[in-house]
Each structure stands twice: as structure tokens, then as C-alpha cells.
Amino acid sequence: MYAVIEAGGKQYRVEAGTRLRIEKVEAEVGSVLEFKPVLLKKENGELEFGSGRVVAEVISHGRGKKITVFKYRPKKNYKRWKGHRQPYTEILIKEVSP
């Protein structure tokens, strides 16, 4: 059985036991998150839309790899470097239920 959930404006396909990095959620490590309603659920070959729930546990918080943004204007001695690290929350899917 799998489900499609929405978290942080993105959609993820999840099953029980899946570890997943989602956009940062203000929740403490060890707390339980509930995603309800589920966008799509497939069980025994049947698709259901808009029903069910997914329970997940917060494992950790972190920051992704650094990306560098470089702006440049030719012949004007204008250069700017910026870095960015996107924060994320890592979760473990405990159960997908009807």
C-alpha cells in the first residue's frame, strides 16, 4: 500500500517505513506528524482519492548542500557571490491507514 501526500508545497509518494526529507516543519525531534487528507492512496489495486491518513515521526532537522549564486556584469567590475542552504526535516513514515 502506498499514498501520495503533500508537504511544503511538494508531493511525495510514501509507504510505511519510508525515510523522507521534506521542507522544514516546526516540530521537535521525536514528535508525530499527521498528514490528512491524503491526496491519493492505492491499496489492493484500488485507487482512492482524498481519504486516509499518514502518520510520521520526526527524525531530525538539517540543512542541505550549499549552492552558490553568482551575479556578474561584464566590463563594470560588478560581481556578487551568494550561498544558500535549504533547511529540511527528515521524517519516518510509521503507517498509512484508511
| Strand 46-49 to 2-7 pairing | unpaired
- The closest alpha carbon to 17, from 44, 47, 54, belongs to 54
Q: Categorize the per-residue pLDDT at 34 as very low, low, confident or very high, splitting at 50, 70 and 90.
A: very high
pLDDT tens-place string over residues 39-59: 999 888 888 898 889 999 999
Give the count of domains, the chain. Answer: 1
Residue 97 has a pLDDT of 85
What is the C-alpha to C-alpha distance for residues 90 and 23, in angstroms, rounded to an integer? 9
Which one-letter amino acid corresponds to residue 78? Y
Helix residue ranges, H only, 1-98? none
pLDDT tens-place string over residues 11-33: 999 999 999 999 999 999 999 99
- Residue 89's domain spans which residues? 2-97
Residue 60 has a pLDDT of 97
